[in-house]
């Protein structure tokens, strides 16, 4: 979102819409946002090639990073709960 805002000239609300479109893999929205990102970057003084490369990096992260970051968070929580269950069973199973 920060890159879309700083480089692409997006407002933070527009950058959030780009994030949502990437997380849901909406191809039509992503194509429109790519054009908007590149035009905004060119207006800020970046060349076409750099803007396309950065957008490709963002898109690549969207295809891989969202899923990976959530998987890591869920596995950390599962580890913490398993640790508490084994080492502090009374506190873990205590109902109030």
Q: pTM for this structure?
A: 0.67
The answer to whether residues 29 and 62 touch, using CB atoms and an 8 Å cutoff, is no
- Rg of the chain over Cα atoms, rounded to whole angstroms, equals 20
Pairwise pLDDT comparison (14 vs 64), residue with the higher score: 14
Q: E-strand spans in the chain? A: none
The answer to whether residues 9 and 41 touch, using CB atoms and an 8 Å cutoff, is yes
Pairwise pLDDT comparison (37 vs 95), residue with the higher score: 37
Tokens 């990437």 map to which residue? Answer: 22
**Torsion of Cα atoms, 50 then 53 then 58 then 60, to 10°:** -170
**According to the model, what pLDDT value does residue 21 have?**
86
Distance separating alpha carbons of residues 4 and 82, to the nearest angstrom: 39
The answer to whether residues 29 and 21 touch, using CB atoms and an 8 Å cutoff, is yes
Instruction: Locate the domains of the chain by residue range.
Output: 2-67
pLDDT digits (tens, 9 = 90+) for 2-60: 999 999 999 999 999 988 888 888 888 888 999 999 999 999 999 999 999 999 998 88
């Amino acid at each position: 979102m920060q890159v879309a805002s700083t480089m692409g000239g997006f407002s933070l609300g527009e950058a959030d819409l780009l994030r949502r479109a990437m997380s849901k893999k909406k191809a039509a929205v992503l194509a429109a946002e790519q054009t908007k990102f590149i035009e905004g970057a060119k207006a800020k003084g970046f060349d076409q090639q750099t803007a396309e490369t950065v957008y490709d990096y963002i898109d690549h992260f969207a295809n891989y990073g969202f899923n990976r970051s959530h998987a890591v968070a869920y596995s950390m929580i599962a580890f913490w709960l398993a640790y508490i269950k084994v080492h502090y069973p009374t506190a873990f199973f205590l109902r109030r």
